Amino acid sequence: MSDERTEFDFTQRSAEEQASLLQHTWCDNCQQADLGMTDPQEYEQFGLRFVEGRCKACGEAVFTELSDDEF
């Protein structure tokens, strides 16, 4: 398994998927779900696919791990 980070183009996803992924977040800093994120970056690392962005509420980094059926 590689720990190299492979970037993907988040904007290649459908508008519905993008909207859903940007809305359904968990922020460790706020300890609250679905605050939303900005500046999404999609990448694959450790064999898992993530979308990373910034919490709309506090500006801290938030990550969403995508399950197999989402990519």
Which residues lie near Zn ion (CB under 5 A)?
A: 27, 29-30, 55, 57-58
Is residue 42 within 8 A of residue 8, CB to CB? The reply is yes
By C-beta, is 30 or 66 nearer to Zn ion?
Answer: 30
By C-beta, is 44 or 61 nearer to Zn ion?
Answer: 61
Instruction: Find the shortest distance in angstroms from Cβ 29 to Zn ion.
Output: 4
Kindly provide the residue ranges of all beta strands, DSSP E only, lying in 1-71, ordered along the sequence: 6-8, 26-27, 32-33, 37-45, 48-55, 61-66
Instruction: Find the shortest distance in angstroms from Cβ 23 to Zn ion.
Output: 14
By C-beta, is 35 or 66 nearer to Zn ion?
Answer: 35
Instruction: Single out the residue of 61, 50, 41 nearest to residue 3, CA to CA.
Output: 50
